[in-house]
Amino acid sequence: MRIAIFTDTFLPNIDGVVTTITNLAKNLADRGHKIYIIAPRYDDKECFFYRNVKVLRVKSIPIPSYPDYKITSFLNYTILKKLKKEKIDLIHSHSPFTFGMLGLIIAKLLKVPVIGNFHTNNADPDYLKHIKMNNRLMQNSVLGLQRFYYNKCDLIICPSNSIKKDLVKNGFKKNILVISNGVDLQQFNKHKNRKKRINKENKVLFIGRIAHEKNILYLIDCFYLVSRKLPRVKFMIIGDGPQKDEVEKKIALLKMKDKILLLGKMEHDKLIKSPVFDECKIFATASITETQGISLLEAQANGIVGVGVDANGTKDLIKNNYNGFLVRLNNKKQFAEKIVTLFLDKKIYENMRKNTLKEVKKHELGNIIEVYEKTYYSLLEKKNGRYNNGKNH
């Protein structure tokens, strides 16, 4: 197949959506498919090269409060001409906004099926805080835009059952298929012998954007409570983002600079090869906006037990009292207590670690790619009678 992927964020940016797209593109390319990634241009140097994958950069402008994400014109004759020449079979969009609209319009003009992947609920108040427009009118407007876009697609894909329920509830009427983002277990197995620099028994980990939607100030308050009972425990935060200054001020105010370590952004390949996953025992997340946390999945692939807020996305990966703990939002004391329990009770921790490694196998990337392939072929056959699930390709 010849597949065009549209996204409003891509390398050199690092986030869960970018990781999902690169994993998908590489694995589909390894299976002989030709992949075109239509993404924003950040500079004149291309940073991603892979056999059977071509990145087509589009001139765009950054969103003022979210510069890693960009917007572009709904129409681009150069991209249309290129994809028509390459006889694209299918378009897979990972954004509902301008890049997604560009993909949708091109799909209609080329008469090829289009899939919309729902990664982010941009109508959530925590996302709208960044543009200082967190009000009911804007929430409804963004939700309406998302609903309009995805209902124009031939198929909606989302990564978790809890998100599917929300989409149905909010009027997303197209066929909705749940496919996990997946995690490459073999990729982590290659680095199981990473040199351990620091005792694994005294570290909590968070990986992600330092932004309102990740609820990091909440995590810091929880960790402050943990440190009062376990003063030797440290909290490692890997990532960067628009709330970094506020987070730094909070850490300074609590006099926790020696206990909460802001390690900055780390390239995905370097992260995998680093000793970070060997050094940490617990992954903590207080986000209530996740559709499916890639960072949590990758931590679980390394046997790190999760503690999270009982919310969409997270509750699909953490089963309370089985492979981690879920805590109701705004119960910081209980959140801290669950972390303390995992540090002090070795039996509970080892049972949860064993269950974590068992559960994460359900998200093995190789199996996920097979599901995507079958979905693509099925959609093509339904749309125009071609391929017959790959038998004629």
Instruction: Judge whether 42 lies within some domain.
Output: yes
Same domain, 169 and 312: no
Q: What is the pTM of this model?
A: 0.89
pLDDT at position 159 over 80: yes
CATH assignment of the domain containing 171: 3.40.50.2000
pLDDT at position 303 over 50: yes
CA distance 41 to 61: 9
Mean pLDDT of all residues belonging to the chain: 91
3-state secondary structure of 103: helix
Query: What pLDDT score does 354 carry?
Result: 97
pLDDT at position 195 over 70: no
Domain span at residue 206 reads 185-363
Quick one: which of 370, 1, 323, 5 has its CA closest to 179? Answer: 370
Burial of residue 180 (number of CB atoms within 10 Å: 0-12, 13-18, 19+) = buried
Q: What is the pLDDT of residues 328-387, one digit of tens each?
A: 988 999 999 999 999 999 999 999 999 999 999 999 999 999 999 999 999 999 877 655
pLDDT category of residue 390 using cuts at 50, 70 and 90: very low
Give the chain's domain count. Answer: 2
DSSP 142-165: HHHHHHHHHHHSSEEEES-HHHHH
Instruction: Judge whether 282 lies within some domain.
Output: yes
Same domain, 218 and 355: yes
Query: What pLDDT score does 198 carry?
Result: 44
Cis-peptide into 231, omega within 30 deg? no
Q: What is the pLDDT of residues 253-270, one digit of tens each?
A: 999 999 999 999 998 889
Low-confidence winner among 131-135, 195-199, 257-261, 297-301 (lowest mean pLDDT):
195-199
Same domain, 32 and 172: yes
The mean per-residue pLDDT over the stretch 66-75 comes to 79
